[in-house]
């Protein structure tokens, strides 16, 4: 079987990194895999090629209308399934592809086109749904949200298939964490955007620092809110203890310098970074919303009230104790069995086979 993945970018990011995992699993199972990307830096291209995929950048730099024409021409001679990821790529594929199996994946717990009028986002989302054979949501939270805002309507087309963890994330790396530090490094990884709710993390860390002045906060990522967040850290008088690492593709290595991982997001479609933190044997504290409890478990001790700095502070206090951090980490590592990448890939392949029969 051949599969063509169409994705907006192959820059480092949650959906993009998960595509890398899926491609690797699909090639291992014998599929012929191609990847077409629309824009951005081809940061994952070498890794995709090393996995055995063929990448195509012929849509780069073209207008959206030209991309429709070019993709239509390309797929006319492509005998296989087309699998689109992220809104721009989904819409492009829905417009360009006829008379073949089209599968789309929804990766975010937000409307199809954020920033656009609700009615326009709904129309575009429903159009893509109508043109596709199947819609894969990466979590129950994404599926429920899409139906709640009426951007999906056909329950028969929609399946939930969770992300799979990256087997190579910590391959050939030492993963033994030591839980006897008195000086703790609290860390997080993510874009510096409103969704990630860094103010709640900074305010909680302020309270924690008052009783644990030897601690520090490591923030890994970049984004448009960097200056505003640095200013907030100055107002809270914690700048000397907050370290801004910037963007990196060496996430595992950076995580090895952390003692506790925190994700304060207001919502997540899945939160692939949670699996990465668990693989790095970090105890994870995260906001209790959207898909996060699907990943960590509904009864996880690491969940705190979304947007509540005091509740996050209390969790940090609880897991200051080394034994508590070790216990939480071991419990969360058991969750990895729920996100086996081979199971994820086989479930998606079954969707392909069903779509091929129906197209």
- Nearest to residue 202, comparing CAs of 216, 190, 213? 216
Res. 168 pLDDT band, cuts 50 70 90 = very high
**What is the secondary structure of 118-137 as a DSSP string?**
HHHHHHHHHHHHHH-SEEEE
Q: What is the pLDDT of residues 107-164, one digit of tens each?
A: 999 999 998 999 999 999 999 999 999 999 999 999 999 999 999 999 999 999 999 9
Helix (H) or strand (E) holding 353: helix 341-358
Token pair, residue 181, equals 């530090």
C-alpha 113: how far from its chain's center? Answer: 17
pTM: 0.93
**Domains in the chain: ranges and CATH:** 2-164+340-358 (3.40.50.2000), 185-339 (3.40.50.2000)
Residue 44 has pLDDT above 60, yes or no: yes
Residue 8 has pLDDT above 90, yes or no: yes
Q: CB-based contacts of 12: which residues, under 8 Å, 6+ apart?
A: 43, 44, 247, 249
Q: How confident is the model at residue 170 (pLDDT cuts 50, 70, 90)?
A: confident
For the cut 60, the answer to whether the pLDDT of residue 193 exceeds it is yes
């Amino acid at each position: 079987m051949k599969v063509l993945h169409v994705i907006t970018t192959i820059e480092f990011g949650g959906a993009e990194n998960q595509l890398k995992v899926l491609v690797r699993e699909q090639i291992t199972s014998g599929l012929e895999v191609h990847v077409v990307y629309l824009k951005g830096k081809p940061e994952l291209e070498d890794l995709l090629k090393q996995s055995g995929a063929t990448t195509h950048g012929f849509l780069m730099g073209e207008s959206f209308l030209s991309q429709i024409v070019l993709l239509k021409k390309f797929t006319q001679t492509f005998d296989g399934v087309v699998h689109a990821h992220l809104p721009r790529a989904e819409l492009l594929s829905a417009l360009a592809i006829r008379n073949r199996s089209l599968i789309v994946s929804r990766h975010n717990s937000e409307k199809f086109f954020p920033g656009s009028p609700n009615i326009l986002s709904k129309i575009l989302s429903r159009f893509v749904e109508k043109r596709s054979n199947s819609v894969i949501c990466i979590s129950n939270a994404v599926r429920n949200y899409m139906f709640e805002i009426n951007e999906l309507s056909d329950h028969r087309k929609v399946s939930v298939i969770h992300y799979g963890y990256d087997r190579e994330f910590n391959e050939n790396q030492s993963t033994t964490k030591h839980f006897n530090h008195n000086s703790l490094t609290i860390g997080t990884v993510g874009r510096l955007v409103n969704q990630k709710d860094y103010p709640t993390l900074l305010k909680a860390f302020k309270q924690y620092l008052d009783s644990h002045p030897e601690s520090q906060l490591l923030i890994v990522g970049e984004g448009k809110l960097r200056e505003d967040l640095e200013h907030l850290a100055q107002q809270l008088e914690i700048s000397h203890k907050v370290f801004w690492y910037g963007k990196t593709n060496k996430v595992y290595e950076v995580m090895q310098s952390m003692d506790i991982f925190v994700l304060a997001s207001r919502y997540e479609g899945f939160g692939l970074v949670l699996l990465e933190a668990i693989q790095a044997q970090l105890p994870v504290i995260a906001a209790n919303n959207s898909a996060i409890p699907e990943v960590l478990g509904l009864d996880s001790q690491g969940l705190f009230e979304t947007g509540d700095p005091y509740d996050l502070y209390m969790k940090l206090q609880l897991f200051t104790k080394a034994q508590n951090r070790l216990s939480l980490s071991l419990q969360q590592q058991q969750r990895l069995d729920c996100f086996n990448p081979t199971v994820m890939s086989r479930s998606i392949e079954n969707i392909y086979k069903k779509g091929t029969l129906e197209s």
